[in-house]
Structure 1
Amino acid sequence: MRSIVAALLILIAASLSPARAAEIPSDDEQDVLIRSTLMTFNDANMTGNYAVLAAKASKQFQAQLPVDKLASAFESFRKNELFFEGVVSADYDSYEKASFDSDGALVLAGVFKTGDIQVKYRLRFVQDGNAWKILGINVDANKL
């Protein structure tokens, strides 16, 4: 069994305080955030092109992790072919109720099991206008 963990967490508390004024998204909105983020991440790993993942990320994330660093950080997913298209339609379990962390970031965490792979995730978002932007991504993929 191969396991790969990738974590990119950006903690910029001063710039996150406006997120605390935001409301927790509805269950349906959370579902869209989780699935679209993981699919963008998966597509980036499959193609080696991290431009869209970076474009969907917050300014803080982009400033600290340009596209070339993203490609380097997630090289093990490509090398080990840990791809998980099945999260588009698979059921998942949330580890914790959606909440804001001490830095004001929205945190969504859980696990997908899609037949031959288990994908644990912890995603952090900050609100930018009306859109939620990726602030941090932690994914652990295990072939079963």
Structure 2
Amino acid sequence: MSGLGGGACAAAQAAPSLASAQQTEAVILTRSALLALDQANKTGNYTVLRDLGSSTFHANSAAKLSEVFADLRRQNVDMSATLAQPLSFNPQPAVDAKGLLRVAGAVPLGARVLYFQIAWAREAGAWRIYGIVVTASETTP
């Protein structure tokens, strides 16, 4: 499993479902985070991914992020297709009792399925990555 966050990516706690506009925002944030991770894996440069994070996420150095996502990088997973594939959330995106926006789910990528858990903290009026866990596995025939 590849990911970081101070317990940030546990399954979302019971929280009210997001309004439609917020659901759309959750999809955009998820695709953006996955694309940032994809670009970091392809370039080996994790500074932008780190800089997209919250102040808590900034505690991770770019070198630490590279280490955390090394397995995903070795699998050579191309996550750019997440822009065109439907995201399947389970449970639905929600803001938890701590105010973190949490998403968990999967997206098909050819012969693989990408599983993700991402949490964002609201800082300076924007959602910033608080924690991210991403794994990929082969689909079964």
> Do the structures match in fold with TM over 0.5?
yes
Give 1:85 shift.
Answer: 1.4
Equivalent position of 2:100 in the other structure: 105
Correspondence 1:53 to 2:53: no
Equivalent pair of 1:11/1:103 in contact (CA under 8 Å): no
Which of these residues, 2, 8, 13, is aligned with residue 6 of structure 1?
2
Task: Say whether 1:42 aligns with 2:41.
Answer: no
CA distance in 1, matches of 2:130, 2:62: 15
Find the residue that maps to 1:26 and give its secondary structure. helix
Aligned AA for 2:125?
Answer: N
Are 1:27 and 2:23 an aligned pair? Answer: yes
The correspondence for 2:70, drawn from 54, 75, 93, is 75
Letter in 2 for 1:94: F
Equivalents in 1 of 2:99, 2:105: separation in Å? 19
SS of alignment partner, residue 121 of structure 1: strand
Structure 1 runs, 4 residues or longer, greater than 2 Å off? 100-104
Q: Does 1:129 align with 2:124?
A: yes
Counterpart AA for 1:71: S
User: What TM-score, normalized by structure 1, do the two folds share?
Assistant: 0.81
Distance 1:62 1:141 in 2: 25
> Which stretch has the larger CA shift, 90-99 or 77-86?
77-86
Q: Once structures 1 and 2 are overlaid, which stretch shifts more, 37-46 or 98-107? A: 98-107
In terms of fraction of residues, the more helix-rich structure is: 1
CA contact (8 A) 1:82 1:143 kept: no
Task: For 1:78 and 1:7, locate their aligned partners in 2 and report how far apart those are by CA, in whole Å.
Answer: 12
Structure 1 unaligned blocks of 5 or more: 13-22
In the alignment of these two chains, the number of paired residues is 129
* C-alpha distance in 2 between matches for 1:111 and 1:11: 19
Aligned equivalent of 1:93:
88
Gaps spanning 5+ residues in structure 2: where? 9-17
- Counterpart residue number, 1:18: none
- Root-mean-square deviation (CA, aligned residues, Å) is 1.8
> Does the CA-based 8 Å contact 2:3-2:69 persist in structure 1?
no
Q: Tell me the distance in 2 between the aligned counterparts of 1:127 and 1:11.
A: 17
For the 8 Å contact 2:99–2:122, the answer to whether it is kept is no
